[in-house]
Amino acid sequence: MGIPSVSEYKSENNNQSEGVDQKAGFAFKSIFVSSPHQIWRSKISWRIAFMAFMAILLVQTLVLNLGGIEQYRQEQLEILKAEARAAELQASAGAQATQAARQSAIARIVAASETGAPFAGALSDLSGLGADISGLEAVAETGIPSLPALQRSFPDIARDGLAASVKETMGEGVGDRIGAFLRAQVGARSLEAREGDDPDAVLSRAEAALRSGDIAGVLTELQTLPEGGLAAMAGWTMQAQTRIDALETLMTLTASSNE
């Protein structure tokens, strides 16, 4: 075998170059010319993948949005609950303050009732707090008759009641009239409670009840006196009844203020 000539070498190289070009052209055609169906199928696959991706993204977005809405709803619910609790606490504090103010005003009136002092200021405060003061208005300026005052004034008024009762119940005889006159002048009464339905016995039991603070018991006893004796003690019995009524009103107010 001899060494190839220059012309032969060029011819051989040209043949190899043409072979390479042919292969490259074939490959190019196979991709861009000879496979349009494959390219279309590839585009469809990308579209499907893109649509699937968008669907997943949409679902995730909806889930996130729904979770956010639910969280927002829960937050608003907690806010409403907190506002309701705050309003309830405020109302409770206001009610407690009103209750304390009522109790303070009632305590001032009770203290005044023990001494017979006027209590118009305390009653005005109580009225401003919405309390029913109708049972106390009549004595607010003058005060509630006190128990010591009723006890101090009873002996004198009892003597008047005894004298009027004896005069009304004395007999027709001269002796009865003289006896009644002397008892009325002397004004002697039994100082200890005793049995009997005569005026002196009645007054003795009434005074004993008064010493123990039982004003209602006193009035019950006095109702058995003759009309004249009861009329002579009308002023005192009216004061005693005024105290009873006022204390009952105070008891009602006290009970209502503790509710």
Q: Where are the domains of the chain?
A: 146-257
Which of 1-10, 68-77, 132-141, 178-187 is the least confident region?
1-10
- Tokens matching residue 52: 């699937």
Cβ 135 vs Cβ 256: under 8 Å: no
pLDDT at 212: 95
pLDDT exceeds 90 at position 241: yes
67-81, 115-129, 214-228: which has the minimum mean pLDDT?
A: 67-81
Q: What's the CA gap between 142 and 120, in Å, rounded?
A: 9
CB burial class (10 A; 0-12, 13-18, 19+) of residue 138?
A: exposed
d(CA 84, CA 78): 10
Q: Which of 10-24, 35-49, 81-95, 121-135 has the highest mean pLDDT?
A: 121-135
Which residue bears the tokens 């011819």?
A: 11
Q: Which residues contact 103 (CB under 8 A, 6 or more apart)?
A: 254, 257, 258
pLDDT digits (tens, 9 = 90+) for 153-167: 999 999 999 989 888
Per-residue confidence band for 94, with pLDDT thresholds at 50, 70 and 90: low
Better-scored residue on pLDDT, 238 or 89: 238
Q: Is the pLDDT of residue 111 over 80?
A: yes
Q: Look-up: residue for tokens 């609790």?
A: 85
Helices 215-222 and 234-257 sit at what angle, rounded to 10 degrees?
Answer: 140
Q: Which two tokens stand for residue 162?
A: 């005894």
32 — pLDDT class (breaks 50, 70, 90): very low
pLDDT at 232: 96
The more confidently predicted of residues 80 and 1 is 80
12-27 pLDDT, tens digit each: 544 444 444 444 444 4
Take residue 23 and report the two structure tokens written for it.
């292969």
| pLDDT given for residue 166 in this prediction | 83
Task: Name the least confident of 20-34, 57-71, 122-136.
Answer: 20-34
Q: For 169-203, how does the pLDDT look when each residue is reduced to its tens digit (9 = 90+)? A: 664 554 445 555 555 555 567 778 899 988 999 99
pLDDT at residue number 243: 97
Please tell me the chain's helix, strand, coil percentages from 3-state DSSP, rounded to the nearest 5: 80, 0, 20
Look at residue 183 in the predicted model and tell me its pLDDT: 56
Q: In sequence order, what DSSP letters do the residues of 52-101 get, joined into one string?
A: HHHHHHHHHHHHHHHHHHHHHHHHHHHHHHHHHHHHHHHHHHHHHHHHHH
